Structure 1
Amino acid sequence: MQKLGAATISNIRFQRLYGVGYKTIAKALGLSPATVFKYAATLPLSNFAQENILASEKDNQIKFAEKFAKEKSIIYPKVDEYFVNLLGHLFFDGSVYQSGKKYVLSYTNSSLLAIKNFEFLIGYCFSLTPSKLICYTGIKIPWFESKVYSKKAYNYLLNVSSSFSTSDPVGVPKIIFDSSTEIKSAFLVAFWDDEGCISNTGCLSGSSNSLKMISDLVKLHDSLGIKCHKLTQKRHKSQIIADQQSNSTTFLGLLSSKPCKKPKNFQCLL
């Protein structure tokens, strides 16, 4: 620790008695905060000095928040194949939620390709970049979670659907039912990407905790000429079964296609 002259020590104490913070004094005099603290910590401070210190700390907190916690600017998406494909992923393997002061859009999958597709869609639709990519150790294989923080995107999405949790009685958003064949197909692609599975007998099925969502998906398939039926399983889990044999051409034509023409780095999983 530096050995100081009487004039410097006097200057430290004078500034501290006026209510100047340790770091501010240290910066002004070219000293370390620890050195300033050594010579000023025991000084009795007046109410005026204490108020100055509190005001300075509050001002620093505001400046820090303005610099590091500033809300990200976004673009607002139009209702196209990209956006409804993103909506589907947020419903089926994703989530939109608030945690404390954080507004989160997240997506989980064991496939890094699926994660990259999600991140592309977030960037394309909202001009946002992922805030965090987490790798979890699964029982058999690892799985990944991509998180994006944005209050503006969160609020925008809640105008489309009041919830993105299929534990709630949510269904297919009205804007999708009222849209074109391409829009409907892009939403269904996300469902089959995230929830679809095929048995060794060739039965194609997908499940959801939301009976309303499954019922709406049956209607959405039907509007495209694809016959499906729903099956309610134990623990209130509902399932959609695609009758692929009787309408395989229609099914594959609509749901095996990519949501829309897109850059080379975007790949649909179907």
Structure 2
Amino acid sequence: MTGRDGPAGAVTYPPPAIITGPSTSSAPVACPSETANRSRRRPRQAPVSVRADGLAAAASCGSAGTDPLGLPQAFQDEPDSEVLLDRLSDAWAWLEAHALLSQVPSQSENFRQLSLDGRDLAKDPQGVTRFEARQRLSGPLHPALEDTVRTNFDLGDYETACFAAMKAVEVAVRDASGLDNSLVGVKLMRVAFAPHQNGKAGGPLADAGAEGGEQEAASALFAGAIGAYKNPASHRTVDFDDPIEAAEIIHFADLLLRQVERAKDRQAATTT
């Protein structure tokens, strides 16, 4: 879609109502629904196109064809203008909901600008990837992960965040199992989740009510997590250059911590 005076793929409108193009400008943009009174109070602004890189989105608030001043809109000849307006409105709402747009204090409430997060995202070559990774961790995490782990992740220190997440799992397993501090890492997991076999008691966190293969799988799950994601960072520098992978490792730790909580509940049930 080509705007009246804009490049291909951009819709520009004075006053502007689109986020597109390679700019990281924070110049305000406004919906065409601004009243004629506002236009009479100040000179009309030149068209502006801004973009949070990789997030091509736009919004318009006027009726298809003309704005409240009777001026033609850039998309007036589009055959599906009503559908277009709906999609642009949805995209605009998404940008605001994710704090990528903010109000302009010196302008009317209809004006928006790229927020600080929006400008950072636009300037960062990995901005979209980092944004997607943060979205993966937007919900609540296990309390053991909410401080050090989330803080380091938000700072971009993915190695420390992932190591701290798996360390929290190790600490939780030791505390819940009551095993000695001499047991660490993979060996601790294997002892704590050792399956119950042939009438022989298993580890303190093993689920005696589960089938033998499932008990062995739980032991392997915890041992594999510690072996793959905690032990390497304990002995050498590990380059976690993919923020999405780091977020998923933290989510994995969150799942393991919740499994430990469930094992503690089973312990409490058998002692009452």
Q: TM-score range by the shorter chain?
A: under 0.3
Bigger radius of gyration: 1
Give the strand-richer structure, 1 or 2. 1
- TM-score between the two structures when normalised by the length of structure 2: 0.21
- TM-score between the two structures when normalised by the length of structure 1: 0.21
